[in-house]
């Protein structure tokens, strides 16, 4: 019998390091065999596997993306569900699963656990928005990429005397914006957790301009328009009442320009933040997660996911991990805000 690994949901730097950590520990220490399911739950539902032997995972810790492919397939949509997965696992000689993914993947893993399938989870999100773990791998890489990008935006902003707006990932929480903004010396950080008026943003930008500097504003993609006390905040329209094509960065840049008279440009970093080689921190965390997932399988800790508590790898039940967002605490925002303006 072998252990099956799948990567599901949006990709994230460090996925390959998890796979490598799991396969190396599982083969070297426990004498286990592994297979990989292609494209997340799709591969499990359709029984689409690849070999995961030592030769298949050599040198992959530094590779971005996932060698297994990923998809947003929900195993409970369409035909089969848990029964089909059980049949496939029996037919393919797969005894247990390591599901690497975010909230959606882990919710599906919980339902499959309840249906009697042996699963452990590894949390994955660049947004760092899972409350059951102190950090998720991929976050550090995304912060580094965003920081590098903002360092570059600052030199071009300084040269032209422009206000630069950088939109970063973070659908529900502002961790990437907070950390990259602090690291890059942003003059304003706009996050979903923190209501911020356009008057306040304009005040920060103006005070930077009046000191002869080029302002840098970082905004998380999930920063809501309706948290802005301004007539322009109507969802879906730009500052001039036209249908909006871009994200929140594209929306606020013209408002800043209009209100400050300062030329303003927006840059959306998008999926660049999820691509390419993971940082050393993410490789180490992801490798430790992969090794810990195999330990959990060997100790029959079904229905649980690995987690980081301080510097220790631990594990928590799916039901205790799901549905709770790790939001930026007020104290962390207040600390960063000392540097604004």
Q: Rule CB under 6 A: choose which of 54, 171, 224, 242 binds ligand F6P.
A: 171
Residues 15/283, Cβ–Cβ less than 8 Å = no
Helix (H, G, I), strand (E, B) or coil at 219: strand
Paired with 98 in beta bridges are 5, 120
Pairing relation of β-strands 304-309 and 312-317?
A: antiparallel
Residue in 127, 129, 238, 282 annotated catalytic? 127
Catalytic residue list contains 127: yes
Cα distances (angstroms) measured from residue 269 to each of 10, 109, 145, 262, 314: 16, 31, 9, 22, 33
Residue 139: CB minimum distance to ligand F6P, A? 10
Burial (CB count <10 Å: 0-12, 13-18, 19+), residue 337: middle
15 binds ligand F6P (CB under 6 A): no
Residue 33: CB minimum distance to ligand F6P, A? 32
10 binds ligand F6P (CB under 6 A): yes
110 binds ligand F6P (CB under 6 A): no
Total site size for ligand F6P, rule CB under 6 A: 9
Burial (CB count <10 Å: 0-12, 13-18, 19+), residue 48: middle
268 binds ligand F6P (CB under 6 A): no
193 binds ligand F6P (CB under 6 A): no
221 is in an annotated binding site: yes
274 binds ligand F6P (CB under 6 A): yes
Cβ-based nearer residue to ligand F6P, 27 or 128: 128
Minimal CB distance residue for ligand F6P: 169
Draw the binding track, 207-226, toward ligand F6P (x: CB under 6 A; -: no contact).
--------------x-----
Q: How many residues does the chain have?
A: 341
Residue 133: CB minimum distance to ligand F6P, A? 15
Residue 101: CB minimum distance to ligand F6P, A? 11
DSSP 155: H
179 binds ligand F6P (CB under 6 A): no
170 binds ligand F6P (CB under 6 A): yes
Give, for 112, the enclosing helix (H) or strand (E): helix 103-114
Cβ-based nearer residue to ligand F6P, 32 or 194: 194
125 binds ligand F6P (CB under 6 A): yes
Rounded CA separation 164/154 (Å): 7
249 binds ligand F6P (CB under 6 A): no
Give, for 333, the enclosing helix (H) or strand (E): helix 330-337
Cβ-based nearer residue to ligand F6P, 88 or 268: 268
Rounded CA separation 172/150 (Å): 21
DSSP string computed for 220-287? ETT--GGGS-SGGG-TTB-TTSPBP-S-HHHHHHHHHHHHH---EEEEE-GGGGG-SPPPHHHHHHHH
73 is in an annotated binding site: yes
Cβ-based nearer residue to ligand F6P, 127 or 238: 127
Pairing relation of β-strands 264-268 and 33-37?
A: unpaired
Sequence ranges of the binding site for substrate: 125-127, 162, 169-171, 221, 265, 271-274
Residues serving a catalytic function are 127
Binding site for ligand F6P (CB under 6 A): 10, 125-127, 169-171, 221, 274
């Amino acid at each position: 019998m072998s252990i099956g690994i799948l990567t599901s949901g949006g990709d994230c730097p460090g996925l390959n390091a998890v796979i490598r950590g799991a396969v190396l520990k599982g083969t070297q220490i426990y004498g286990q065999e592994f297979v990989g399911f292609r494209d997340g739950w799709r591969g499990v539902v359709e029984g689409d596997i690849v070999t995961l032997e030592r030769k298949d995972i050599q040198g992959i810790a530094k590779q971005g993306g996932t060698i297994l492919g990923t998809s947003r397939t929900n195993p409970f949509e369409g035909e089969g569900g848990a029964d089909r997965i059980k049949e496939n696992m029996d037919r393919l000689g797969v005894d247990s699963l390591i599901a690497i993914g975010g909230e959606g993947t882990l919710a599906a893993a919980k339902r499959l656990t309840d249906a009697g399938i042996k699963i452990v989870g590894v949390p994955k999100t660049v947004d760092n928005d899972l409350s059951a773990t102190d950090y998720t791998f991929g976050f550090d890489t995304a912060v580094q990429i965003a920081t590098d990008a903002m360092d570059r935006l600052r030199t071009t902003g300084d040269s032209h005397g422009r206000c630069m707006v950088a939109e970063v990932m973070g659908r529900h929480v502002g961790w990437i914006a907070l950390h990259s903004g602090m690291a890059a010396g942003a003059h304003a950080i706009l996050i979903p957790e923190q209501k911020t008026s356009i008057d306040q943003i304009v005040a920060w930008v103006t005070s930077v301009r009046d000191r002869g500097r080029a302002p840098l504003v970082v905004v998380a993609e999930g920063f809501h328009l309706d948290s802005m006390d301004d007539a322009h905040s109507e969802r879906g329209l730009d500052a001039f009442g036209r249908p909006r094509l871009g994200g929140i960065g594209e929306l606020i840049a013209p408002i800043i320009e209009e209100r400050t008279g300062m030329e303003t440009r927006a840059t959306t970093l998008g999926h660049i933040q999820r691509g390419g080689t993971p940082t050393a921190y993410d490789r180490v965390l992801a490798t430790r997660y992969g090794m810990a997932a195999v330990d959990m399988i060997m100790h029959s800790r079904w229905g649980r996911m690995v987690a980081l508590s301080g510097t220790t790898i631990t594990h928590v039940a799916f039901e205790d991990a799901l549905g709770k967002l790790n939001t930026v605490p007020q104290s962390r925002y207040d600390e960063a805000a000392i540097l604004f303006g």
